[in-house]
């Protein structure tokens, strides 16, 4: 399994039957070979229910009490057996540490269905259990909903060639695995099994040739499950509480080449990661225990076994170069077969070594080479009936929300409001975790006398969920409703559920006496809900309507519902007869954008006034529904239909749909021609509605339909739908071929609309659409540009990867995540953010696992969030040795004192010697003779070994008591050695061009210490990075500014006139002055507030972590109302309704300054804390206040005049609850107790990060 094939390894069962599966894809910042060992494809010969090879030494009784000496398991209920195996296959693999329960050669092992894998320094051993080894137990084995189970595994024997010569089960006893939070929640199953005879397992060895003889084998991802072995009667022989892990990493199995193993009980998967500078040809792998090895005509690697074969798909290879994907050609190469006599009497089957490698065509070795992984997860979601996903949304943490309809009584529920479905069909609402492996909550919603389904879903910043759908139930649950009664003919429902999924905030009908259907929904930042669809009722509720009259037949409608669900802001008909509203979006100002299909709508500022009979339309409605800003047809001379719409921050509208017109308007088009009977289209209209920015066809020769759209923060466009075309344009595709007669597709288009970034078929193979095929209903995009789709499928070969539910029963909903981006720089080797806050290890947040060991240094507040404090005596951090020919090193540091005796080293990776030819590496340090001069010292060598040492310097830093950012770079091509301070280049030294950095021969490198001059650092170090390339000036500045930025608002209040407080941060978050007057402030001008009704209205903004800084001077104490300096708080007696934060005095103790903050965890559970300081006499004195919240540590700090005066702690990882209840935040006013401030306020700053103690002190001192 160290094999180089990519992206997966499939088992073809004995005879000719096989499995097919789309590529599983993950993005790495390095050259990647991804491999899948699909264990669910292993034929029955190798299967047992619990994945344990077993052997019985005596016959056992069957259910009748008679003994049976045949290797069978008669009497076992096959349906129960299949269900148990299915549920077990959904569990993750548990990679178990060897604590002495196995042979000492084995470092880790895992046991899944029908297999055992052992990880040793010499290679990996895969044992496949024979079919005759059925699951055995005298007792029933129970699968409980919490997945806590303990069973008594049988004795196990391994062949002598297997490293498990000391089996953890060889003496009988019990193994217990406990997992409290399972990704699946099956009902309790009971199974009775029989002892049987067994044969030896089939064992395959995979050995890397010429590899590191003792590689570092590192576990990754500690799991909750613990393993216990109770062997014999002597407790001293028991092994308990053994840790399990999600993955195993062989680090540097070859130089700069790693291997990672992971998976679930259906599949064992591994990646080979080839980093820049390494050569993929170094990888040579040997299989033992197989019969044959060859490359097929398709370029796949075929591995012959005794009763079947393994297929390893041909490599797909690419590089990311300057933001563009460049594909490279890669292929397998079987190099040779070697046989060695391992037994004097005969050559065993295991004596054959089948050796293979792979070749990659020429590529740019300065950049990482990647074998493409993109499909992050894809899972079924449903029960045994018909289930369909119809709407999808995603929050900032990557949790996914899906709604639709279900006819399954056994639809998976978790933390449910309603655990029971009804026979007519119910809505389901499911929140899935970011990994796609478990349900956070999942519930039915509906009445008991009719049917309903969810048609759309949205999530707000506080993770409350909004669902719109359709119902025929008289008893649909209503609460805080605008309309509590069913109106007949089929109504729309609108519901809001709290972040934890535990309560309905409101639920209401919406409709008239005819029939209504919702086809599109959206929300705005205030929680108002926008709905469009189709209405057949003349008495549909209209409020503040643009059009109150209903024409015959059916019309579109647009409704805007208030955030509390109790009233309508407006509700109007739209269009003449035969108009449908299919999609709706809302901008930040509360304007609504609607698209659909019509035979006639009112035209306002129209781009296209001609209707040929069935046109798409686009309409923009102002915030109160009183006017149409623009309304236009969009189409050609045949049929056109708008099916989806999105809007960006500037009010540009993006429309998709289907067109049969060969004269559909195109502008700056990727494709200017109709390709078949009906294509998708994508059109972008400017904010005023006066012009098309771009408009294009998209499709193949046989038609596309049911198109949905989303956009990301960079304005790239994502569309999904169904296609019948075998020639649909594909780019960087997961699947380049149409499956069956119809298929799904997902396409990403660049922001300019000029090219496709990604386009793929997606789905299973079917000749019948859509009943036993697949259909897509919704698409969403997260904050970093990953795409999520939902719909339904009846196909067993639908692509399923990393699934919560890998088994199809009936017709199921599906949820799929496609990963498009990674934020890890390709040349980053180490990054220590120092945000852990505890423990003796500092974690490398790059992909390379170069974790450091803390030697005395202590956790503290750093430049950004956490940091490490060094005492200048013997504190350091030991990190793995990393040598590069060229490099960049970066760090933040804060010196406590100058050391005139010893060196102060920030980073030590150098060997110093009086003989220049013995010097090695580099370091960053101060020296005692010039303690304010920072030095970046580097030794390089030419190809003859002649060495050059240079020292770049930053002089006269005044280095004590301030934060500095240092970066040192070396470019081997130019020979330039550069030193930067705070993003600015301060010194350059020149080495002979082509010289490379001399590798360090020590076993480790150090942070906070250099061997030169006993160089222990006295101060704080934060955010240490090491790159394998020389960063550019711009990149260094970017790293520096990434930390020093974060300021969202700066009101200096120095204007002296006008009603606008200008934001000096550059973010244009200008404030509106409401009554406050200009006066002299703490620094220049300031604002005076009268304590009655003065304030500054600030645009609402929400962040997970914050810092607020301000100067204030109170005129008087207010004993009846709060005096607020700054407020973004919603207060409620119910803690779960509270939001945001504020800084204020309260009337009960008017001299005590208070900073109140509300945070929440990933499940929406809220925590409120208040830190405070009694100023004793707060009147007529200028005070500086800073309030911070650090999400990583949960620390809430209050500072007065630069000093930390109070601290409280929230659960680590909690984020600030976004303010959604109010439209703005205020300076000088809090909604809590009518809290108008009486006094002066100046120099208000708001940051989206927690400032450090030192930064707070600097803000105070500098003002």
* Chain length of the chain: 1263
Q: pLDDT-derived band of residue 959, with 50, 70 and 90 as boundaries? A: confident
pLDDT, tens digit (0-9, with 9 covering 90-100), for 403-413: 999 999 999 99
HEC letters along 1211-1233: CCCCEECCCCCCCEEEECEECCC
CATH topology of 838-1039 equal to that of 1047-1262?
Answer: yes
Q: Which of 78-87, 457-466, 780-789 has the lowest mean pLDDT?
A: 78-87
pLDDT exceeds 60 at position 52: no
- The lowest-confidence range among 19-28, 225-234, 961-970 is 19-28
Q: How many CB atoms lie within 10 A of CB 81?
A: 17
Q: What is the mean pLDDT of residues 656-677?
A: 94
* Three-class DSSP category at 1000: coil
Residue 28 has pLDDT above 50, yes or no: no
Q: What is the DSSP string of 696-733?
A: EEE--TT-EEEEEEEE-TT--EEEEEEE--TT---BS-
Cβ proximity of 1027 and 825 under 8 Å: yes
d(CA 73, CA 938): 70
Q: Are strands 452-459 and 756-762 parallel, antiparallel or unpaired?
A: unpaired
Could you tell me the two tokens for 580?
């449908």
pLDDT of residue 316: 56
**Alpha carbon of residue 1237 to chain centroid:** 42
Per-residue confidence (pLDDT) for residue 352, from 0 to 100: 63
Banded pLDDT at 1016 (limits 50, 70, 90): very high
- Assign 293 to helix, strand or coil: strand
Res. 39 pLDDT band, cuts 50 70 90: very low
Closest C-alpha among 712, 714, 731, 717 to residue 684:
717
Q: What is the pLDDT of residue 1148?
A: 83
Phi/psi of residue 910, nearest 5 degrees: -125, 150
User: Of residues 1140 and 93, which shows the higher confidence score?
Assistant: 1140
What pLDDT does residue 177 have? 30
Average pLDDT, the chain: 80
Which is nearest to 427 in space by CA: 813, 75, 56?
Answer: 813
Least confident of 295-299, 556-560, 1004-1008: 295-299
Cis peptide before 770 (omega within 30 of 0): yes
Name the most confidently modeled range: 76-85, 240-249, 441-450: 441-450
CA distance 36 to 1036: 39
User: What value does the mean pLDDT take over residues 747-762?
Assistant: 90
In this model, does residue 867 exceed pLDDT 80? yes
Check the CA dihedral 151-115-35-219 and report its sign: positive
934: left (phi over 0), alpha (psi -120 to 50) or beta: beta
Helix (H) or strand (E) holding 1036: helix 1033-1044
Q: What residues contact 15, with CB distance under 8 A and at least 6 apart?
A: none
Both tokens of 1065, joined, read: 């941060």
What DSSP character marks residue 549?
A: P
Query: Is residue 1067 over pLDDT 80?
Result: no
Average pLDDT over residues 924-940: 94
Which residues have C-beta within 8 Å of that of residue 280, sequence separation ≥ 6? 4, 31, 33, 274, 358, 360, 369
Residue with the bigger pLDDT between 1057 and 6: it is: 1057
Nearest-angstrom CA–CA distance, 177 and 30? 35
Query: How many Å apart are CA 129 and CA 127, to the nearest integer?
Result: 6
Given a cut of 60, is residue 145 above it in pLDDT?
Answer: no
Statement: residue 56 has pLDDT above 60: no
Looking at the chain, the number of H-run helices and the number of E-run strands are 3, 92
The CATH class given to the 838-1039 domain equals: mainly beta
Residue 7 tokens, joined: 């992206």
* Residue 933 confidence (pLDDT) above 90: yes
- Is residue 297 pLDDT above 60, yes or no? yes
Q: Is residue 1090 predicted with pLDDT exceeding 90? A: yes
For position 1064, what pLDDT does the model report?
A: 75
In this predicted structure, what is the pLDDT of residue 146?
A: 23
> pLDDT tens, 179-207?
333 333 323 232 222 222 334 456 788 88
Once rounded to an integer, what is the mean pLDDT over residues 801-820?
84
- Residues 1018 and 1146: their CA atoms lie apart, in Å, by 42
Q: What is the mean pLDDT of residues 20-24?
A: 27
pTM of the full predicted structure? 0.49
pLDDT one-digit tens code per residue, 306-334 = 766 666 666 655 555 555 556 666 777 77
Closest CA to 864 of 1040, 728, 707: 1040
Beta bridge partners of 326: 319
Extents of the domains making up the chain: 38-307, 838-1039, 1047-1262
The residue ranges of DSSP E strands in 152-256, in sequence order, are 174-178, 189-191, 202-209, 216-230, 239-254
CA neighbor of 320 nearest in space, from 747, 27, 753: 27
Confidence of residue 266 (pLDDT cuts 50, 70, 90): low
Helix ranges (DSSP H) in 734-809: none
582 pLDDT higher than 80:
yes
Cα gap 57→40, rounded to integer Å: 29
Burial class (CB in 10 A: 0-12, 13-18, 19+), 1191: buried
Name the residue with tokens 């540590």: 1193
* CA gap 697, 725 in Å, rounded: 14
Section 1179-1206 average pLDDT: 93
Looking at residue 518, what is its pLDDT? 97
Distance CA 755, CA 750 (A): 6
**Cα 622 to chain centroid, rounded:** 35
As a CATH number, domain 1047-1262 is: 2.60.120.200
């Amino acid at each position: 399994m160290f094999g180089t094939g990519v992206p997966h390894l499939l088992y073809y069962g004995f005879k000719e039957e096989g499995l097919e599966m789309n590529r599983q894809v993950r993005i790495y910042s390095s050259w990647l070979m991804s491999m899948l060992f699909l264990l669910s494809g292993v034929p029955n010969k190798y299967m047992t229910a619990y994945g344990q090879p077993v052997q019985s030494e005596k016959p056992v009784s069957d259910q009748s009490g008679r003994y049976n000496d045949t290797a069978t398991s008669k009497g076992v209920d096959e349906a129960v057996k299949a269900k148990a195996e299915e549920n077990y296959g959904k569990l993750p693999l548990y990679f178990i540490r060897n604590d002495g329960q196995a042979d000492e050669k084995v470092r880790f092992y895992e046991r899944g269905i029908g297999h055992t894998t052992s990880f040793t320094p010499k290679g990996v051993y895969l044992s496949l259990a024979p079919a005759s080894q059925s699951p055995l137990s005298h007792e029933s084995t129970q699968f409980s909903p919490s997945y806590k189970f303990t069973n008594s595994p049988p004795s196990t024997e391994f062949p002598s060639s297997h490293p498990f010569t000391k089996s953890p089960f060889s003496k009988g006893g019990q193994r217990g695995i406990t997992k409290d939070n399972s990704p699946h929640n099956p009902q309790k199953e009971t199974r009775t099994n029989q002892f049987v005879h067994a044969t030896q397992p089939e064992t395959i060895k995979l050995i890397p040739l010429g590899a590191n003889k003792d590689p570092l084998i590192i576990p990754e991802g500690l799991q909750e499950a613990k393993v216990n072995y109770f062997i014999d009667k002597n407790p001293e022989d028991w092994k308990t509480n053994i840790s399990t892990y999600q993955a195993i990493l062989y680090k540097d199995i070859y130089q700069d080449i790693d291997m990672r193993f992971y998976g679930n009980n259906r599949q064992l998967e591994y990646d080979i990661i080839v980093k820049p500078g390494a050569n993929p040809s170094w990888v040579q792998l040997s299989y033992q225990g197989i019969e044959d090895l060859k490359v097929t005509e398709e370029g796949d690697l075929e591995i012959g076994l005794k009763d079947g074969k393994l297929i390893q798909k041909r490599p797909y290879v690419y590089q990311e170069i300057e933001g563009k994907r460049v594909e490279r050609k890669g292929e397998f190469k079987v190099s040779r077969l070697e046989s060695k006599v391992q037994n004097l009497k005969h050559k065993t089957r295991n004596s054959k070594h089948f050796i293979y490698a792979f070749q990659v065509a020429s590529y740019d070795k300065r950049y990482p080479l990647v074998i493409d992984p993109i499909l992050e997860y894809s899972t079924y979601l449903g029960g045994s009936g018909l289930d369909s996903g119809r709407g999808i949304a995603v929050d900032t943490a990557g949790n996914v929300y899906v709604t639709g309809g279900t006819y399954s009584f056994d639809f998976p529920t978790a933390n449910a409001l309603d655990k029971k479905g009804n026979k007519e069909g119910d809505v389901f609402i499911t929140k899935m975790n970011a990994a796609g492996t478990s349900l956070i909550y999942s519930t039915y919603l509906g009445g008991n006398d009719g049917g309903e389904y969810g048609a759309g879903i949205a999530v707000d910043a506080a993770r409350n969920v909004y669902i719109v759908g359709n119902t025929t139930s008289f008893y649909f649950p209503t609460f805080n409703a605008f309309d509590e009664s069913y109106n007949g003919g089929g109504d729309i429902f609108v519901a809001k559920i709290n972040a934890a999924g535990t309560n309905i905030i409101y639920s209401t009908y919406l409709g008239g006496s005819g029939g209504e259907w919702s086809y599109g929904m959206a929300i705005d930042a205030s929680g108002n809900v926008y709905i469009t669809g189709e209405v057949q009722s003349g008495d549909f509720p209209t409020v503040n309507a643009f059009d109150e009259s209903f024409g015959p037949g059916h019309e579109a409608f647009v409704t805007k519902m208030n955030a509390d669900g109790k009233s309508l802001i407006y509700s109007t008909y739209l269009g003449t007869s035969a108009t449908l509203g299919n999609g709706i979006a809302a901008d930040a100002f509360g304007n609504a954008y609607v698209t659909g299909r019509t035979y006639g709508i009112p035209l306002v500022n129209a781009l296209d006034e001609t209707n040929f009979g069935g046109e798409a339309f686009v309409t923009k409605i102002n915030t109160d529904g009183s006017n149409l800003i623009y309304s236009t047809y969009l189409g050609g001379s045949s049929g056109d239909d708008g099916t989806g719409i999105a809007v960006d921050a500037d009010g540009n509208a993006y429309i998709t749909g289907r067109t049969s017109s060969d004269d559909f308007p195109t502008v700056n088009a990727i494709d200017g021609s109709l390709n078949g009977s009906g294509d998708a289209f994508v059109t972008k209209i400017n904010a005023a509605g006066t012009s098309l920015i771009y408009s294009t066809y998209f499709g193949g020769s046989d038609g596309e339909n049911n198109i949905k759209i989303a956009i990301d923060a960079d304005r790239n466009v994502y569309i999904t739908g169904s296609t019948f075309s075998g020639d649909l344009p594909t780019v960087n595709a997961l699947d380049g071929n149409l499956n069956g007669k119809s298929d799904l597709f997902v396409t990403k288009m660049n922001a300019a609309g000029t090219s496709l970034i990604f386009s793929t078929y997606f789905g299973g193979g079917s000749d019948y659409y859509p009943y036993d095929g697949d259909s897509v209903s919704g698409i969403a995009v997260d904050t970093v540009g990953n795409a999520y789709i939902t719909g339904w499928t009846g196909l067993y070969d639908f692509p399923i990867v990393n699934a919560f539910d890998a088994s199809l029963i009936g017709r199921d909903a599906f949820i799929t995540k496609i990963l498009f981006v990674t934020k890890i720089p390709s040349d980053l080797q180490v990054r220590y953010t120092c945000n852990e806050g505890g423990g003796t290890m500092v974690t490398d947040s790059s992909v390379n696992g170069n974790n450091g060991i803390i030697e005395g240094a202590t956790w503290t507040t750093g430049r950004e969030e956490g940091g490490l404090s060094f005492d200048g005596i013997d504190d350091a951090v030991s990190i793995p040795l990393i040598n590069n020919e060229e490099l960049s090193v970066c760090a933040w540091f804060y010196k406590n004192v100058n050391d005139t005796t010893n060196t102060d080293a920030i980073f030590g990776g150098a060997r110093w010697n009086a003989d220049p030819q013995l010097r090695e590496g580099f370091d960053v340090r101060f020296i005692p003779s010039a303690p304010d001069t920072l030095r970046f010292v580097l030794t390089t060598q030419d190809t003859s070994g002649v060495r050059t040492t240079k020292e770049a310097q930053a002089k006269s830093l005044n280095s004590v008591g301030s934060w500095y950012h240092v970066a040192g770079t070396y470019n081997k091509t130019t020979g330039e050695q550069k030193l930067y301070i705070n993003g600015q280049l301060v010194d350059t030294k020149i080495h002979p061009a082509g010289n490379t950095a001399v590798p360090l021969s020590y076993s480790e490198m150090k942070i906070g210490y250099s061997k030169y001059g006993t160089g222990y650092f006295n101060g704080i170090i934060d955010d240490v990075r090491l790159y394998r390339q020389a960063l550019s000036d711009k990149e260094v500045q970017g790293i520096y500014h990434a930390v020093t930025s974060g300021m969202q608002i700066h009101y200096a209040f120095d204007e002296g006139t006008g009603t606008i407080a200008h934001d000096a941060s550059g973010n244009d978050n200008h404030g509106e002055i409401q009554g406050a007057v200009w006066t002299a402030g703490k620094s220049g001008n300031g604002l005076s507030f009268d304590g009655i009704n003065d304030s500054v209205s600030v645009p609402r903004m929400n962040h997970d972590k914050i810092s607020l800084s301000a100067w204030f001077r109170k005129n008087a104490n207010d004993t009846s109302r709060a005096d607020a300096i700054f407020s973004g708080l919603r207060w409620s007696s119910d803690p779960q309704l509270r939001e945001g934060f504020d800084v204020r005095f309260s009337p009960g103790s008017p001299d005590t300054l208070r900073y109140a903050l509300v945070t929440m965890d990933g499940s929406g559970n809220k925590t409120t804390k208040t830190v405070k300081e009694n100023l004793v006499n707060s009147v007529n004195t200028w005070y500086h206040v800073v309030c911070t919240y650090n999400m990583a540590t949960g620390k809430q700090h209050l500072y007065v005049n630069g000093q930390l005066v109070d601290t409280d702690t929230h659960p680590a990882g909690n984020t600030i609850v976004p303010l959604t209840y109010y439209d703005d935040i205020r300076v000088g006013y809090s909604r809590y107790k009518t809290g108008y401030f009486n006094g002066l306020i100046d120099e208000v700053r708001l940051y989206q990060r927690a400032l450090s103690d030192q930064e707070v002190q600097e803000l105070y001192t500098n003002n």
